[in-house]
A and B are shown apart, each in its own frame.
Chain A
């Protein structure tokens, strides 16, 4: 009887622990906001963070190159700071496979977002899921993202906004810097290929111009051998 009681208590403790590891735990998977086609929530959050340096990353959460970009950004910039003057928005959208031409064949889903989101270790990062992929078109129009062959859909792009940027129109404002990892823009001089160290340097330069607040500023880039 005593053994049964001990086992019952152990089971209850395990169940309780399992329950605690879900919602409400600080180590739980990062949450995200579903984004409408006008990106209303992102726009509100972007304008609410005016006065901060803002980063906007647009990725497909199952694209290995995008994930490598997130990992590099985390390593070179975000993991080393909790500076509240630096706010990051990450828009996840389905692109790979036939997602854009045949949405019914879409392979990327919202459940792919948390695993990608866990790559960024910074308290001031917010994630969004845009199921329709409309944000990619909206952003491509706003920054005039095109190659010699025409308009290029905006994904795997990494944007930097200054503290004064305001999103007042339907489209996002033009960034101070846009880096990308798109094959269609391989030779672009206007939109350089992503180099997370250069990106981080630009962010640090902008932060240095802002009045100090709480939190530790980003650590300087490690010396390369």
Chain B
């Protein structure tokens, strides 16, 4: 199944961008940045805050690609047989889990505590 690496790659990329957005968005309101990264690191994180919307847009695009990959009409394999729906189920679960996690990370990024 050639779509497997593509789905895993795009879902992981979306999660990574979501985590980045949560870090730069949540850093400014949560009291952990200085403890974890020190004063200089926390300032650096605050300076990256302008990237937050771009990271979330990127995550949404990657999730869209992942959903398209697992819900498009199944491509025929080399011997002419179609990929069965049951073979795609784990990938669909993976994409849905990634989508839920990215949504949760977006909430963290835009939480009321995320901006001073």
CB within 8 Å of B: which residues of A? Answer: 60-68, 71, 95-97, 107-108, 112, 115-116, 118-119, 155-156, 181-183
How many contacts between A and B, using CB within 8 angstroms? 57
B43's contact among A64, A112, A182, by CB below 8 Å, is which?
A64
Give Cα A51–Cα B115 distance, bound, in whole angstroms.
36
Interface centre among B34, B35, B46, B115 (most CB of A within 10 A): B34
Question: What is the interface size of chain B, counting residues whose CB is below 8 A from a CB of the partner?
Answer: 20
Answer whether residue B30 sits at the interface, using C-beta atoms and an 8 A cutoff: yes
Residues of A within 8 A of B38 (CB): 115
0/1 per residue, B20-45, Cβ < 8 Å to A?
Answer: 00000001111101110011001101
The answer to whether A182 touches B31 (Cβ under 8 A) is no
The answer to whether A155 touches B34 (Cβ under 8 A) is no
The answer to whether B34 touches A65 (Cβ under 8 A) is no
Interface centre among A66, A68, A107, A119 (most CB of B within 10 A): A68
A67's contact among B29, B30, B34, B115, by CB below 8 Å, is which?
B34
Chain B residue at smallest Cβ distance from A97: B31
CB within 8 Å of A: which residues of B? Answer: 27-31, 33-35, 38-39, 42-43, 45-47, 49, 112-113, 115-116
Give Cα A136–Cα B97 distance, bound, in whole angstroms.
43
The answer to whether B116 touches A68 (Cβ under 8 A) is no
The answer to whether A65 touches B115 (Cβ under 8 A) is yes
The answer to whether B46 touches A67 (Cβ under 8 A) is yes
The answer to whether B35 touches A64 (Cβ under 8 A) is no
